[in-house]
A and B are shown apart, each in its own frame.
Chain A
């Protein structure tokens, strides 16, 4: 075996702490003891390979999973999956889930009294293409109230789950929409100390992917941890333009 090339650790401040008291659910669930630093081994630099044999290409269109059209504003959500070295991550699984246009999830524990939509499940997945690109057709999710504190509302968001090439590159995050007035008041959006890192969770309105008369486009690039350079691997980790 060649030496294991570890993945880069997150830049300080750019990730949420486990304990973020304004998000009340973190108080009883965040670990209280320091994490134990684990050097990367073969166990961390490898990871699940989910391939086209399990991914139904139709599931990337969340507006065509039922006989009728879902209510709400059709949108295109697309972007690229890249690593920190700006390299595209091809053929990696991207999963999303979200509320419907009224702000209601198709889930037995969602007690919000907004209507369910018989034509919308809110689940999609796809593989990035050979250049790391992904694309979903969906509807814009509604904002919704939650029980975190008095008059608490979640900013509109879409949940994303991405594997990348290794156990170490796993990411689950949420994508937000530009101009949403609830973001400054949402403790989940605000759980990351670094403002620039936080703001990268906001998608960009995108004319290029907007389809005339059909759907507005939003762009959301996803960056996963990149490899550290190792002595044997310096050529492939040269400066990127």
Chain B
């Protein structure tokens, strides 16, 4: 007899007490190869109001497209100390900011020919806020990456909504990207059932 997964509950407004000890906004760490990038944005609600009691968790591969996890058996290099994990709270204005390296491409789902197409570079992201009864799952992709147009996950999304998953280059600030999480409304971010 199998068990049934425990039901989710909201993180509530006071999660900082329990989660702050593991806040991590430098995802790649000092020894990782790859292009460094800073990502800034805000979490906004249905009225465009900032969400000051939110937290993001990031999960990503290194620049070679390898995850720091035992189930990633690809024959690719992994820098010692690379974790690929981030946890970043929003501030009073709903803003978050973190630095990382652009990940490499990782295999996509199995295709009927049992060949795996590579995915475009992306971050896997969990969004937690007061008011969310369970996490929201989304992804962030990188602007102008030629692989975006063939990425299987982006292609699951109607074209008009795909831009919500792709960061934009910040004006006049090199190596800085902007990406917002809009919880509800006409420009709502795409969230996945994953």
- Give bound CA distance, A44 to B194, whole Å: 7
- Give bound CA distance, A161 to B3, whole Å: 19
User: Are A29 and B59 in contact (CB-based, < 8 A)?
Assistant: no
Binding site secondary structure of chain A: loop
- Give bound CA distance, A38 to B184, whole Å: 20
- Give bound CA distance, A112 to B73, whole Å: 51
Asked if A11 is an interface residue, CB under 8 A from chain B, the answer is yes
- Give bound CA distance, A85 to B5, whole Å: 10
- Taking A41-B108, A41-B109, A42-B106 as contacts, is the C-beta distance between A107 and B3 under 8 angstroms? no
- Taking A84-B3, A172-B11 as contacts, is the C-beta distance between A42 and B72 under 8 angstroms? yes
- Taking A47-B59, A191-B133 as contacts, is the C-beta distance between A171 and B8 under 8 angstroms? yes
Asked if B101 is an interface residue, CB under 8 A from chain A, the answer is no
Residues of A within 8 A of B68 (CB): 49
Asked if A20 is an interface residue, CB under 8 A from chain B, the answer is yes
- Give bound CA distance, A197 to B14, whole Å: 24
Number of interface residues of B (CB under 8 A): 76
Asked if B96 is an interface residue, CB under 8 A from chain A, the answer is no
- Give bound CA distance, A106 to B189, whole Å: 33
User: Are B5 and A223 in contact (CB-based, < 8 A)?
Assistant: yes
Asked if B95 is an interface residue, CB under 8 A from chain A, the answer is no
> Which of A36, A47, A109, A170 is B192 in contact with, Cβ under 8 Å?
A36
Asked if A86 is an interface residue, CB under 8 A from chain B, the answer is yes
Residues of B within 8 A of A194 (CB): 7
User: Are B109 and A31 in contact (CB-based, < 8 A)?
Assistant: no
User: Are A172 and B128 in contact (CB-based, < 8 A)?
Assistant: yes
User: Are B153 and A1 in contact (CB-based, < 8 A)?
Assistant: no
Residues of B within 8 A of A18 (CB): 132-134, 136
- Give bound CA distance, A111 to B131, whole Å: 18
> Which of A36, A107, A200 is B156 in contact with, Cβ under 8 Å?
A36
Residues of B within 8 A of A11 (CB): 4-5
> Which of B8, B83, B131, B189 is A26 in contact with, Cβ under 8 Å?
B131
Which A residues have a C-beta under 8 Å from some C-beta of B? 1-4, 8-11, 14-18, 20, 23, 25-33, 35-50, 54, 59, 82-86, 95-98, 105-107, 109-110, 121-125, 159, 161, 165-168, 170-174, 188, 191-192, 194, 197-198, 200-201, 222-226, 240
| Pairs of residues from A and B, 3 with the lowest C-beta to C-beta distance, nearest first | A97-B18, A25-B131, A46-B69
